[in-house]
């Protein structure tokens, strides 16, 4: 098994892909079984061309990827400027089964496990595949998919992120093999001689009280506990210390309780999602996730120290477990709220990873949710 990653800051997509592909080809012993591609939003006009361009350059057997608000690879993180991150892997004795889903194509909540297995193209549930998942936050609710996969494949690892870089539906891109999609979710089921370990570090702390969504429209939060969403934020800000009020201006997030039967007493029970916009006239908030009435949510703050400490703890625990064999490669699904904006320095999370786990090839992007 061999993994490699490459990064480019070239201003045009053909140049950037050519640079990444040439770096990978120089060290890869054969054509890759898998390529994972992340493109910053600066390349939005050329998204549709990316799969075919990469196929001509590298000819991967499988391609997975998406648009990004920022990309990372080869130990560097590129934010707020053009960037392409490419990961390629030779995976002997590993079968990669691609799938694409839309919300209206998901099995219903009462469907048996076999229906979920069929939806992702894995007829043998005993195979316990690992799943790589990417989704568009404007059109797809990833929690519905992950809950279904947990039901059908309870022993499987599921990792991934929500495409970023867009401000409205249709602007994100999802790449699967030779196609570029603008909605739904794409993924790979990985079966065979490969173990996928997941490390989760959120680094957020809850503020205020847990509330129920009483009105919403897709990803737009309309009311919490019967109160306009923006009014709920204003009331929250009034209750915070001056220091937290300052932090909330740039690092306020919405935590959505994962288990609807749980009260949300622990931060680990929340999925942290970005606030991507607000409408002062209507008093609504745009959230980087599909919402449902009745969900329990709580606002969260992310601060530099909590994020750094949580990441250090999770990486230290994993390193102390001495995984055998050692990791051959890694995908990093960071958050748009992290990076230079949070830490004040570039490459923080990538450097933390390499400090704990050594020179493992790594690539990824800054997600709208993980």
pLDDT of residue 205: 87
Q: Are 197 and 157 in contact (CB under 8 A)?
A: yes
Place of tokens 């939003």: 41
pTM for the model: 0.86
Residues 211 and 189 reside in one and the same domain: no
Residues 242 and 349 reside in one and the same domain: no
Q: What are phi and psi of 259, to 5 degrees?
A: -95, 110
Residues 109 and 15 reside in one and the same domain: yes
Chosen domain end from 301, 331, 357: 301
Report the greatest alpha carbon distance in the chain. Answer: 60
Of the candidates 255, 274, 244, which has an alpha carbon nearest to the alpha carbon of residue 163? Answer: 274
Residues 189 and 246 reside in one and the same domain: no
Nearest 10 degrees: Cα torsion 229, 232, 238, 243: -60
Buried-state track 299-330, b at ≥16 Cβ within 10 A, e below 16: bbbbbbeebbebbeebbeebbeeeeeeebebb
Residues 96 and 243 reside in one and the same domain: no
Residue 141 lies in a domain: yes
Residue 316 lies in a domain: no
Q: How many residues does the chain have?
A: 370
Place of tokens 């992702």: 120
Residue 264 in tokens: 């949300």
Residues 189 and 277 reside in one and the same domain: no
Residues 11 and 70 reside in one and the same domain: yes
Q: How far apart are CA 7 and CA 190, in angstroms?
A: 25
Chosen domain end from 247, 271, 301: 301
Residues 47 and 105 reside in one and the same domain: yes
Residues 247 and 273 reside in one and the same domain: yes
Instruction: List the domain range (segments joined by +) for residue 294.
Output: 206-301
Residues 282 and 186 reside in one and the same domain: no
pLDDT of residue 267: 47
- In a structure prediction context, what are the per-residue pLDDT tens digits for the chain, which is 370 residues long? 999 999 999 999 999 999 999 999 999 989 999 999 999 999 999 999 999 999 999 999 999 999 999 999 999 999 999 999 999 999 999 999 999 999 999 999 889 999 999 999 998 888 889 999 999 999 999 989 999 999 999 999 999 999 999 989 999 999 999 999 999 999 999 999 999 999 998 778 899 999 999 999 999 999 999 999 999 999 999 999 999 999 999 889 999 997 665 554 554 578 888 898 899 999 999 998 889 999 999 999 988 888 899 999 999 999 999 998 899 999 999 999 899 988 999 999 999 999 999 999 999 999 998 8
Residue 307 lies in a domain: no
At CB < 8 A and 24+ separation, what contacts does 123-126 make? 125/152, 125/153
Domain count along the chain:
2
Residues 24 and 75 reside in one and the same domain: yes
Q: How far apart are CA 132 and CA 157, in angstroms?
A: 9
Residues 349 and 279 reside in one and the same domain: no
Q: Are strands 227-228 and 220-224 parallel, antiparallel or unpaired?
A: antiparallel
């Amino acid at each position: 098994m061999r993994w490699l990653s490459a990064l480019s800051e070239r201003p045009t997509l053909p140049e950037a892909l050519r640079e990444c592909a040439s770096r990978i080809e120089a060290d890869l012993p054969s054509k890759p079984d898998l390529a994972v591609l992340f493109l910053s939003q600066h390349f939005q006009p050329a998204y549709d061309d990316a799969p075919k361009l990469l196929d001509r350059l590298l000819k991967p057997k499988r391609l997975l990827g998406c648009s990004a608000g920022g990309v990372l690879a080869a130990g560097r993180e590129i934010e707020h400027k053009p960037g392409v991150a490419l990961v390629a892997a030779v995976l002997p004795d590993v079968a990669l089964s691609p799938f694409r889903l839309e919300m209206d194509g998901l099995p219903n909540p009462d469907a048996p496990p076999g229906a979920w297995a069929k939806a992702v193209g894995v007829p043998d549930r005993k195979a316990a595949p690992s799943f790589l998942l990417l989704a568009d936050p404007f059109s797809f609710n990833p929690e519905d998919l992950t809950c279904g996969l947990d039901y059908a494949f309870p022993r499987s690892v599921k990792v991934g992120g929500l495409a970023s870089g867009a401000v409205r539906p249709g602007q994100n891109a999802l790449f699967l093999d030779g196609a570029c999609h603008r909605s739904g979710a794409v993924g790979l089921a990985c079966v065979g001689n490969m173990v996928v370990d997941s490390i989760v570090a959120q680094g957020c702390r809850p503020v205020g009280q847990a509330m129920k969504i009483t009105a919403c429209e897709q990803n737009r939060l309309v009311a919490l506990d019967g109160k306009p969403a923006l009014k709920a934020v204003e009331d929250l800000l009034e209750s915070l210390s001056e220091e937290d009020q300052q932090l909330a201006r740039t690092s306020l997030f919405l935590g959505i309780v994962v288990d609807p039967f749980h009260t949300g007493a622990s931060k680990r029970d929340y999925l942290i999602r970005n606030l991507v916009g607000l409408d002062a006239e209507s008093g609504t908030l745009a959230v980087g996730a599909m919402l449902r009435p009745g969900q329990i949510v709580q606002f969260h703050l992310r601060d530099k120290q909590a994020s750094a400490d949580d990441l250090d703890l999770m990486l230290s625990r994993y390193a102390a477990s001495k995984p055998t064999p050692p990791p051959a490669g890694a995908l990093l699904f960071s958050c748009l709220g992290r990076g230079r904006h949070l830490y004040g320095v570039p490459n923080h999370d990538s450097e933390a990873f390499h400090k704990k786990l050594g020179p493992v090839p790594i690539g990824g992007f800054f997600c709208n949710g993980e």
